[in-house]
C-alpha cells in the first residue's frame, strides 16, 4: 500500500504496473462509477444533506459515482453470506440458527470523512429490500470515560488504541456475531466530549451492522503470557478504509476546527467552549498543535498501518472526492 503522503497511483488514478500482481484490483473514478451507472440512486438530496459531515463535500454525483457501486458490492457480499449459510445448513444436514448479521468495519483518520461514509452506506444499504435493517455503531462509545482516562493518565492520548475499552468492544462484536436478539453499545456525546452514563444504543435483529472507528482494523495484541487474543476485525465480513494524503487530512482537520469554532464551540455546554473566543490565527495554531500532538501521531502509528488489512480502500483527493478504489482480490 502507498504511504500516507503518496498518491498510490499514476497521475490519472490507473494502477501502476508493479501492482498488477498484488492482492488488490484498483479502479479509477470513472471505471468505478460505471459499475453503478445502470442502478437508480436511492437517496434524495435532503437525505444526503442529513448525512453529510462538517466540511465534507458530498453531493449527488459523489453518491451516484462512488457510494452507489459500493453499496451494490456490499449488498452482493451480504447476499452471498446468506447463500453460504444456507449451503452450510444443507451440508450439515440439520437446522442451523438464523444467519448472524453481516458486519462491516469502517476505519480511517480523524477528519477524513469516515463518519459521513458510514452514514451514507447505512442509508443506501437500507434501501435494498434484501436487508432493510442496517445498524450503525461508532466505537467512540467504547472510549473510557474521561474520569477513567484521567486516572490512567491517558487523556492526552484519547483516540489511541489504549484509550478504548477493547474488551467491551470485542464482547459487543462477538455478541453481534453470536446472533443475540439485542445487543447494547454505550453512547458518546461529542458536545461534552465524553461517554454518556446510562445511555445505550440498542441493536436489535439487524441484517447489517456497520462499525465505524479509528482503530477497528487493529490486529490482535499479544497477551502477557505470549498468547495472541482476538481482534474485533476477526468478526468482520467486510472492511473499508477511507484514505487520503496526510497533508490533506491535516488541512481538513484544521478547516473543521475553524468551522466548529463558529458553531458547536459557541455552545456553553461544549467541552471545547473555551475555543469559541479564539481569534482565527489562535484557532489555527491550536488545531495544528492538537494535530501534531495527538491526531497526527495516532494516524501514523496506529491507523495508517491497518490500511492494508481492509477489504476495500477509498482513496480521496484534496477536494474530498474519491479518486480511486482498491478492492482485495478473491
pTM for the complete prediction?
A: 0.90
Residue 192: closest CA among 245, 123, 136, 271? 271
Which residues are annotated binding-site positions? Answer: 108-115
Which residues are annotated binding-site positions for ATP? Answer: 108-115
**Which domains are delineated in the chain?**
25-328 (3.40.50.300)
Cell of 75: 449488498
Q: Is residue 25 within a helix (H) or strand (E), and if so which, with residue range? A: strand 24-28
Q: Using CA atoms in the order 130, 134, 139, 144, what is the torsion angle rounded to 10 degrees?
A: -130
Beta bridge partners of 23: none
* Contact yes or no for 274/264 (Cβ under 8 A): no
| CA pair distance 154, 147, nearest whole angstrom | 10
pLDDT per residue as tens, the chain (330 positions): 333 344 444 433 444 444 456 899 999 999 999 998 877 777 767 777 777 654 566 778 888 899 999 999 999 999 999 999 999 999 999 888 888 999 999 999 999 999 999 999 998 899 887 888 999 999 999 999 999 999 999 999 999 999 999 999 999 999 999 999 999 999 999 999 999 998 999 999 999 999 999 999 999 887 778 788 899 999 999 999 999 999 999 999 999 999 999 888 999 999 999 999 999 999 999 999 999 999 999 999 999 999 999 999 999 999 999 999 999 999
Report the pLDDT value the prediction gives residue 96, as an integer from 0 to 100. Answer: 83
8-state DSSP, 316: E
Amino acid at each position: 500500500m502507498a504511504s500516507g503522503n503518496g498518491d498510490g497511483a499514476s497521475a490519472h488514478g490507473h494502477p501502476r504496473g508493479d501492482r498488477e500482481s498484488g492482492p488488490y484490483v484498483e479502479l479509477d473514478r470513472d471505471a468505478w462509477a460505471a459499475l453503478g451507472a445502470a442502478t437508480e440512486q436511492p437517496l434524495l438530496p435532503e437525505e444526503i444533506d442529513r448525512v453529510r459531515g462538517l466540511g465534507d463535500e458530498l453531493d449527488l454525483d459523489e453518491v451516484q459515482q462512488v457510494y452507489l457501486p459500493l453499496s451494490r458490492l456490499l449488498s452482493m457480499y451480504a447476499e452471498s453470506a446468506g447463500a453460504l449459510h444456507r449451503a452450510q445448513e444443507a451440508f450439515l444436514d440439520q437446522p442451523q440458527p438464523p444467519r448472524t448479521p453481516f458486519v462491516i468495519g469502517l476505519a480511517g483518520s480523524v477528519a477524513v470523512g469516515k463518519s459521513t461514509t458510514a452514514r451514507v452506506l447505512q442509508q443506501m444499504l437500507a434501501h435494498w429490500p434484501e436487508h432493510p435493517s442496517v445498524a450503525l455503531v461508532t466505537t467512540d462509545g467504547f472510549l473510557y470515560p474521561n474520569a477513567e482516562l484521567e486516572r490512567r493518565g491517558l487523556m492526552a492520548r484519547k483516540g489511541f488504541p489504549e484509550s478504548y475499552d477493547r474488551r467491551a468492544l470485542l464482547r459487543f462484536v462477538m455478541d453481534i456475531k453470536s446472533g443475540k436478539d439485542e445487543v447494547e453499545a454505550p453512547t458518546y456525546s461529542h458536545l461534552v466530549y465524553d461517554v454518556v452514563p446510562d445511555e445505550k444504543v440498542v441493536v436489535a435483529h439487524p441484517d447489517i451492522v456497520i462499525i465505524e472507528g479509528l482503530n477497528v482494523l487493529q490486529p490482535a495484541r499479544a497477551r502477557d503470557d505470549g498468547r495472541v487474543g482476538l481482534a474485533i476485525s476477526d468478526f468482520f465480513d467486510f472492511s473499508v478504509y477511507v484514505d487520503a494524503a496526510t497533508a490533506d487530512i491535516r488541512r481538513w482537520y484544521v478547516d473543521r476546527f475553524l468551522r466548529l469554532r463558529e458553531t458547536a464551540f459557541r455552545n456553553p455546554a461544549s467541552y471545547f467552549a473555551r475555543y469559541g473566543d479564539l481569534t482565527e490565527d489562535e484557532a489555527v495554531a491550536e488545531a495544528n498543535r492538537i494535530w501534531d500532538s495527538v491526531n497526527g501521531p495516532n494516524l501514523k502509528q496506529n491507523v495508517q498501518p491497518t490500511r492494508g488489512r481492509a477489504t476495500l480502500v477509498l482513496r480521496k483527493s484534496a477536494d474530498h472526492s474519491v479518486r480511486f478504489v482498491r478492492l482485495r482480490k478473491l
